[in-house]
Structures are given as structure tokens and as C-alpha cells.
């Protein structure tokens, strides 16, 4: 089970639920468009995580080391993120 911690609340992801879907299900406002790692509009800051965040495929959107794309990343364990939109 994956636990997600934000400034707004703590929740768990359902089986096979993306981080983006979990954030939307729990009432977080997250910008998104493509859901496939192309546009980068869903990027959020990863503050800490108990496991490595990985991707089933290399996303095309440019992200910094402390950023993740909740639409397509895979998370496990516990992850703490800042879900506020990142303006680039």
C-alpha cells in the first residue's frame, strides 16, 4: 500500500491507481492535460519518499530532480509531496 502525504491531507492509493488519480479523488487541485508524461503540467515537488519513484517509460517532459509527474510515475511506500502547481 502506498501512502501519500500532502500539506492538505494524508491518503493511500488504491491498487493500480495513479498518483494523479489519487490526488484528484481526494480533492487536490492538480493541473494536468496529457496523462502520459508529455506536457509536464501535472509536475509536483517530491519532498521525501521511502522508495525510489520510477516511470514505466521515460517521460518526455523535462523535470528537475526533486519533481515528479503524478500522471505516469510509480510510487511505493510513503511519499510526501507539495501538490501546489509549479510554475515554470
What cell numbers appear for 56 in the block? 514505466
Phi-psi region of 38 (alpha: psi -120 to 50; beta: other; left: phi over 0): alpha
Quick: pLDDT tens for 45-60: 999 999 999 999 999 9
We report the CATH number of the domain holding residue 6 as 3.10.20.30
| Total structural domains within the chain | 1
User: Where in the sequence is the domain holding 77, given as residue range(s)?
Assistant: 1-88
- pTM (2 d.p.): 0.92
The stretch 54-72 carries a mean pLDDT of 95
**3-state SS assignment for residue 58:** coil
pLDDT for position 39: 95
Amino acid at each position: 500500500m502506498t501512502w501519500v502525504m500532502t500539506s492538505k491531507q494524508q491518503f493511500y492509493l488504491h491498487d493500480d491507481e495513479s498518483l494523479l488519480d489519487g490526488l484528484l479523488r481526494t480533492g487536490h487541485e492538480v493541473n494536468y492535460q496529457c496523462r502520459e508524461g508529455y506536457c509536464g503540467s501535472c509536475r509536483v515537488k517530491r519532498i521525501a519518499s521511502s522508495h525510489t519513484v520510477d516511470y514505466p517509460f521515460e517521460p518526455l517532459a523535462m523535470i528537475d530532480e526533486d519533481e515528479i509527474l503524478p500522471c505516469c510515475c510509480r510510487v511505493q511506500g510513503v511519499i510526501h509531496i507539495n501538490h501546489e502547481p509549479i510554475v515554470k
